[in-house]
Amino acid sequence: MKLMKSVMAAALALPCVVSCAAASADTGANMWYDRPAENWNEALPLGNGRLGAMAFGGVAADEAELCERLPQIFDRAGNHYRMLDSMATRQMKTPEGAMRIPRGLEKDGSLRMISIRDWTSGFYPGSLWYLYEATGDVFFKNRAIVWTEMLEPNKTMTGTHDLGFMMYCPFGNAKRILKTGKYDVILVESAESLSKRFHEGLGLLRSWGANGDRNEFLVIPDNLMNLELLEWAAKNGERGTGNGERFDKIARSHADVTMAYHFKADGSVYHVLDYDQDTGRVKKIMAGQGAGCGSAWTWARGQSWAIYGYTMMFRETKDVRYLAFAQKLADFAINNPNMPEDGVPYWDYGTPGEARDSSAGAIMASALLELSAFVGGDKGAAYRAFAVKQLLALSSPAYFSEGGEAGHWLLKHGTGHRPANSEVDAPLSYGDYYFLEACLRFKRLLHIQ
């Protein structure tokens, strides 16, 4: 069916669109299209004198609204993080001199400061890098450098799988944005430390527990996110001390074995698997941070980690199996009957009506925007539309904090660990990080200048 667009009508309906001078509702001047634009060069320019975009695949009211909101989102986020940084800087050191970094809020509402060894330590400086990228304000660059370089000692940690979060989010963004080689060796050394958790026989990176532990070998989907550090090091290892081919082999192996065992037939994820180190078989499935292990339950953030992880692995390797699998995981989440109308999941897909997890929504939105560009066509457009819906919800008063109500963190209603009653209905540093990343990805996707 032909798609007719009246340019003037579009201008009246969409705050991000302006009409062409030659087109008017009075003259009935219309533009006709047989199909959506398939690439950037076929798209129509949109703008309001302040923002511009080349939107292809059809002009959607939701995208226009998000386009219009972006400056306000980044401006408000910047104001929040200026206040947050002021509070965090005063608490940067313990009385004993140990360095700390902000993570969220304590139950009494005070700022939660944690050790630089905490798995979340990279998200706060990573968010500062995104704010510098979004605003160009050197305040955020200078503060990001301070908080990022504080984390350098983590590069030798071998007792955690979270080095991707801890090191690539801050140092990787610093390298990309500043276009510097200053941090290359730190990143490669971090990848080398992460690689020490690889079990050759299983083909997996150990998630939790000490290297060499023969009683358990626990793996969680979160670990997929750390493969980006290995893939970066695989391409840049010659600049440091690593072996690029080995890093790539480890990342692909972990992604492949995880794909084979960590998911149910419908594409939903288990949280914790325990592997037998002699047989390679899964000997135990555990709910972890989810509500249960059966088919009725799926931990929402784990599903989002997996969508993101396999999308990233396709980007880094161009292996089409990862692209197909990312779509399967995304389709499970999007089409789940318990997915709320606004696209922000409950903390577990099997617990409708319970606490939401804004961080799961932010991670998923960021992943879907990247996935949409890889998939293209109608399906890619559907992924993009769902992500835009999520970002509109997350940037609304329902989730985006006002003043100091969330301690100047951005997103309300995160759920860290519901079974442990930890960080429930709370702001989470990683929720902010992936929300800002998703907004920047949307901006780039539409070629907004």
Neighbours of 106 (CB within 10 A): 13
pLDDT band at 23 (very low <50, low <70, confident <90, very high): very low
- Distances 350 to 284, 301, 338, 412 between C-alpha atoms, Å: 21, 13, 7, 21
Name the average pLDDT for the chain: 89
- Distances 68 to 46, 64, 161 between C-alpha atoms, Å: 11, 6, 39
Residue 2 counted as domain residue: no
Q: What is the mean pLDDT of residues 82-95?
A: 97
Name which of 406, 279, 425, 417 is nearest 358 in CA terms. 425
Residue 14 counted as domain residue: no
Report the C-alpha gap between 151 and 5 in whole angstroms: 52
DSSP class of residue 42? G
Residue 105 counted as domain residue: yes
Residues spanned by the domain of 259: 35-445
Residue 156 counted as domain residue: yes
> What CATH number should be reported for the domain holding residue 109?
1.50.10.10
Please list the helix, strand and coil fractions of the chain in percent, rounded to the nearest 5, in that order: 50, 15, 35
- Over the stretch 168-182, which tens digit does the pLDDT of each residue have? 999 999 999 999 999
Percent of the chain clearing pLDDT 90 (strictly above): 82
Number of domains making up the chain:
1
Q: What is the mean pLDDT of residues 80-86?
A: 98
Given a cut of 70, whether residue 28 has pLDDT beyond it is no
Report the C-alpha gap between 247 and 204 in whole angstroms: 12
Given a cut of 90, whether residue 79 has pLDDT beyond it is yes
37 sits in the region (left: phi over 0; alpha: psi -120 to 50; else beta) called beta
pLDDT band at 27 (very low <50, low <70, confident <90, very high): very low
Residue 319 counted as domain residue: yes
pLDDT band at 140 (very low <50, low <70, confident <90, very high): very high
- Distances 60 to 3, 22, 103, 296 between C-alpha atoms, Å: 13, 22, 36, 34
Query: What tokens appear for 196 in the block?
Result: 């020490």
Report the C-alpha gap between 409 and 47 in whole angstroms: 31
Given a cut of 80, whether residue 269 has pLDDT beyond it is yes
Residue type at 401 in one-letter notation: S
Name which of 260, 266, 267 is nearest 282 in CA terms. 260
pLDDT band at 26 (very low <50, low <70, confident <90, very high): very low
Q: What is the mean pLDDT of residues 121-128?
A: 98
Contact 265, 327 (CB under 8 A): no
Q: Which of 1-15, 80-94, 165-179, 277-291 has the lowest mean pLDDT?
A: 1-15
Instruction: Specify the pLDDT at position 427.
Output: 98
Given a cut of 90, whether residue 25 has pLDDT beyond it is no
Place of tokens 């009385």: 95
Q: Which of 60-64, 73-77, 438-442 has the lowest mean pLDDT?
A: 60-64
Q: Which residues are catalytic?
A: 162, 222
pLDDT band at 46 (very low <50, low <70, confident <90, very high): low
1, exposed or middle or buried, with CB in 10 Å at 0-12, 13-18, 19+?
exposed
pLDDT band at 244 (very low <50, low <70, confident <90, very high): confident
Please give the order of strands across the beta sheet that includes 218-219. Answer: 218-219, 272-275, 282-286
Residue 67 counted as domain residue: yes
Contact 84, 409 (CB under 8 A): yes
pLDDT band at 3 (very low <50, low <70, confident <90, very high): very low
Instruction: Specify the pLDDT at position 449.
Output: 38
Instruction: Specify the pLDDT at position 1.
Output: 36
Q: What is the DSSP string of 328-359?
A: HHHHHHHT-TTS-TTS--BSBTT-TTS-B-HH
Characterize the bridge pairing of strands 52-55 and 44-47: antiparallel
Residue 7 counted as domain residue: no
Given a cut of 50, whether residue 423 has pLDDT beyond it is yes
Element holding 419 (H helix, E strand): none
Question: Where are the extended beta strands (E) located within 95-134?
Answer: 100-105, 111-115
Q: What is the mean pLDDT of residues 341-370?
A: 98
Given a cut of 50, whether residue 197 has pLDDT beyond it is yes
Q: At what angle do helices 300-317 and 227-236 cross, to 10 degrees?
A: 20
Contact 124, 88 (CB under 8 A): yes
- Over the stretch 303-336, which tens digit does the pLDDT of each residue have? 999 999 999 999 999 999 999 999 999 999 999 9
How many Å is the Cα radius of gyration of the chain? 22
Residue 9 counted as domain residue: no
Report the C-alpha gap between 413 and 427 in whole angstroms: 6
pLDDT band at 437 (very low <50, low <70, confident <90, very high): very high
Contact 114, 100 (CB under 8 A): yes
Rounded to the nearest angstrom, the gap between the alpha carbon of residue 273 and the centroid of all alpha carbons in its chain is 23
pLDDT band at 239 (very low <50, low <70, confident <90, very high): very low
